[in-house]
Structure 1
Amino acid sequence: MNELNLLAPLLAGVVLGVVFFGGLWWTVRRAMASPWVGLWFFASLLVRTAIVLVGLYLACGDTWQRWLAALSGFVVARLLIMRLSRPAVVNLEGDHAP
């Protein structure tokens, strides 16, 4: 299989991963201020999962190599979102020597 054929599903996997995990991050931030936390998480899960499944099906079809490329992109997006959404580390001990 041509490597250029795998570039589109790889990029689709990255985009879908950013949508999925970015949406999760957004949901966590919004739901904590809402009286309906469970509804926020359940609705978000349904919408995010539906978007990703339809997107992966459209991007990959029935070729396992395209699925592997797309899922690799999805994992890369997960790592990227985890890195970007990490809270800042605060040094409470100061800058003195031990």
Structure 2
Amino acid sequence: MNWIFIFIAIVSGAIVSVFYFGGLWLTLRKIAEYKFSYLLILVSFVIRITLLLLVFYLLLQYHWAYLGLALMSFLIVRQVLLLKLGNPKGALYN
């Protein structure tokens, strides 16, 4: 394995995690403000999952280990975001 690809896999997993879970957090903050909240949820999900699957698919084309590294950094950043952001105010849950 090449060190540059290892670095790219870890960083891309972290960036996708920030985008995915940050977008989810923003969606939950804004859900009470919209009349058609189901549309907001659907569009947000489609955009987030499309980017996530695209990045993971591209990493898988090089080697399955890069996908594993990206997934680990994805989950680590998720835990960091949960600690930093917490529950969004105005969300449907407490």
Task: Give a deviation string over 1:24-65, Cα, whole Å, max 9, x none.
Answer: 001111112111111111111111000111122223424111
SS in 1 for 2:33: coil
Give distance in 1, aligned partners of 2:77 and 2:61.
Answer: 21
User: Normalization by structure 1: what TM-score?
Assistant: 0.79
Task: Give a deviation string over 1:37-96, Cα, whole Å, max 9, x none.
Answer: 111111111110001111222234241110100100110121121111115xxxxxxxxx
User: Normalization by structure 2: what TM-score?
Assistant: 0.82
Aligned residue type for 1:51: L
For structure 1, which runs of at least 5 residues remain unmatched after alignment?
Answer: 88-98
Q: Does the 8 A contact of 1:9 with 1:70 survive in 2? A: yes
Which protein is richer in helix relative to its size?
Answer: 2
For structure 2, which runs of at least 5 residues remain unmatched after alignment?
Answer: 88-94
Aligned alpha-carbon RMSD (Å): 1.5
Q: How does 1:3-82 map to 2 (within 5 A)?
A: 3-82=3-82
State the percentage of identical aligned residues.
25
